[in-house]
Structure 1
């Protein structure tokens, strides 16, 4: 390649105060890697190719691949009622394995990290994943769901008789000669693991994150730790690299990359252009790219690949500011035709001109344990408060679209929109970072629940 990757990565890491990072690029049959900095700030332990970074939600494509391996072997039918394999979800028949992997299963977005979590995933599923408790009718909308992937991991355990950790290691990683590390769960051999860091304006040094809040039950959604070179190997196995032993055949891999959202009323606005089975789909770089992003406790990791040339780009960082580093990396790669799919977070897709915030958007919106309260200030402004007591000022655009910057003054920006009821025209939903919350029934301006919500604007 004609780019000095170590120099590029080191410069971006200094700019964004990222203590350590890995970058791996596969192009034209060659993989080039760069590793810079320390696993933990001030520790003196350098980041190496072997260092494992908590992947956060980049764990999900691995869990999806496990499910697809079972589908390819005839052990499950992607479109069968999930209750045929996991009776704990209860009757209904609309929730399917395909819906879980494409985030159209209707389940709530986030696990209540402060709640009670049985370490027996079957018991947790029986309590939290019943189809009758779905927050959206299955198959009608995209709403990003960590809980859906916990259920997908349980499906793997039911069918294989192995734990999710055992299945991940034996079916996916060992054939690719990847040594696993896990954020939570049983140890699987020694592999140095990077520590996440918070980076605050006005402070000289990044602060290591000492606590770990991910419950063991949530491991299939966010529990894996790997390196950038491992991510490249995994993506190349999906592209059918002849030198690698893939867990799934070419047909299953192709199905994972196929757009699954045809006919779905609300897509993954702000996160991607569409979604497959485990993979986000990005169409903003002139060709289809696939991948996923993941944030852990003070880490940010990213993966993109495209089929035509077989190019793969993977970045792992041990700071929350790694998101901004990734955005700048995409801009650095763009000149000379090296555009990588996946727009930055600083503005919504096709935002149009800025507008005042509409007062009709004010109200309380819920998705399981997640809650947003939107308040109009009477002067054309909107504020959004989460149930974690974070408050954001919204920058509004045409079509009821908005961005909201993290309240600590950092650069991370979330993209969202309000959606209208196609029958009444009233605002009934808000979507933030792909998660779709419905106006609460006890809200003074509540509208009737929708069976098939429509696009906003």
Structure 2
């Protein structure tokens, strides 16, 4: 996550390292007119320290936040801030939101389930399954999931000097003007393939949405079903994730908070409500919709070993040495909090135009923290409240 998106930044959901963007990339959310359920009071044990931690994000510039904590004391749910600009109501604690790059953990899980079924080889060439793209045969399924394929990110890349090489319009006024455009996954992949690779397959790490759009197409080809059907069959149905939507839509059904995007136009800062937009720009890489409750159920089940056999869960949790501080495995990051906290933390999240998703969990699945934040019309300073929240939840304060 960054401070308020700057004109050059992409809005297409990049995975942050504890919310520090590697190369920015996601999209924001969508509003369905109708009644919005009121924010509920904090559930479970009384935890004034948690409400204070949530409020700290609002004090840091976010418009609103909803958070769910599940641990040995039970479940705590709370919210702070406002549901939308000009209103006083809090964000709904059962509200839906765009997952952004947290989508990748779901996609990686389905791919690994197909590996467990013997339908995909983790170290097999992707070209064997998707010959129509004429991919370098050295690119394996594993490389897609761990971002080591070298494939150019269709939403743009950082150059060596720190400047940005634009991909498809994914930031600033350019994105705002076309935010309802529909992209086909194949179109996104072919755009990425039209650019030079960042490095030879397996010879580096570069976070790229192209990898996960290809992973979605891989799932659909091998399973013979749409991504929505296969996700429902393998994850949403068994876990009863009734409020999770895949692929995402222009509108978010049910209760939700609005998100806003701040950008420059002709040298002036402008703010636009980006709750409604078309998320097809990040197919398979950042287009799902969910809730904190469904995210908790999914991440807890994943870490408890309910979705993958032990050997594949271990592969998922193995950080690639080239991924640096992001410590990226196969669809999630792994962080050792050190002796002081005595735990390892698994996570994925996304900073996006309008929205932020948060998904943290311990390896045993017994403690999860899931949340959504919304941007308003001001810059945000998120580092201190995020660090304090992590210490409070995972290091005992």
Shared fold (TM-score greater than 0.5)?
yes
Which has the higher mean CA deviation after the structures are superposed, 47-56 or 76-85? Answer: 47-56
Which has the higher mean CA deviation after the structures are superposed, 154-163 or 113-122? Answer: 113-122
Task: Give 1:141 shift.
Answer: 0.7
Q: What is the aligned partner in structure 2 of residue 292 from structure 1?
A: 348
Do the aligned partners of 2:100 and 2:351 also contact (CA within 8 Å) in 1? yes
Q: Distance in 2 between matches of 1:339 and 1:94?
A: 45
Where in structure 2 are there 5+ consecutive unaligned residues? 1-44, 156-166, 171-177, 264-269
Of 53, 72, 81, the residue aligned with 2:116 is 72
Bigger strand share: 1
Do the aligned partners of 1:52 and 1:225 also contact (CA within 8 Å) in 2? yes
Rg (Cα) greater in structure:
1
Q: What is the aligned partner in structure 2 of residue 276 from structure 1?
A: 329
Do the aligned partners of 2:61 and 2:380 also contact (CA within 8 Å) in 1? no
Instruction: Note the alpha carbon deviations across 1:217-253, whole angstroms, 9 max, x for none.
Output: 5221111122222222111011227xxxx44334332
TM-aligned CA distance change 1:313 to 1:166, over 3 Å: same
Task: Give 1:308 shift.
Answer: 5.0
TM-aligned CA distance change 1:159 to 1:240, over 3 Å: same
Instruction: Indicate the RMSD between aligned Cα atoms, in angstroms.
Output: 3.4
Q: Distance in 2 between matches of 1:248 and 1:216?
A: 28
TM-aligned CA distance change 1:128 to 1:207, over 3 Å: closer
Instruction: Note the alpha carbon deviations across 1:36-92, whole angstroms, 9 max, x for none.
Output: 344322356642232112121111111111111111111100100011111123153
Of 224, 229, 234, the residue aligned with 1:171 is 234
Task: Give 1:7 shift.
Answer: 2.3
Q: Distance in 2 between matches of 1:183 and 1:21?
A: 24
1:248 aligns with 2:333: no
Q: Distance in 2 between matches of 1:151 and 1:14?
A: 37
1:318 aligns with 2:362: no
Task: Give 1:5 shift.
Answer: 5.3
Q: What is the aligned partner in structure 1 of residue 221 from structure 2?
A: 158
Q: Distance in 2 between matches of 1:39 and 1:252?
A: 40
Instruction: Note the alpha carbon deviations across 1:292-344, whole angstroms, 9 max, x for none.
Output: 1201212112221122573222221011789744641432452697269xxxx
Where relative contact order (Cα < 8 A, 6+ residues apart) is larger, the structure is 2
Q: Distance in 1 between matches of 2:380 and 2:331?
A: 20
Task: Give 1:194 shift.
Answer: 2.7
Which has the higher mean CA deviation after the structures are superposed, 212-221 or 66-75? Answer: 212-221
Q: Distance in 1 between matches of 2:191 and 2:97?
A: 31
TM value normalised by structure 1: 0.62
Q: What is the aligned partner in structure 2 of residue 147 from structure 1?
A: 210
Where in structure 1 are there 5+ consecutive unaligned residues? 201-205, 341-457
TM-aligned CA distance change 1:94 to 1:190, over 3 Å: same
Q: What is the aligned partner in structure 1 of residue 360 from structure 2?
A: 304
Instruction: Note the alpha carbon deviations across 1:163-187, whole angstroms, 9 max, x for none.
Output: 2233333322232222223684487
Secondary structure of 2:228's match?
Answer: helix
Do the aligned partners of 1:300 and 1:322 also contact (CA within 8 Å) in 2? no
Secondary structure of 2:114's match?
Answer: helix
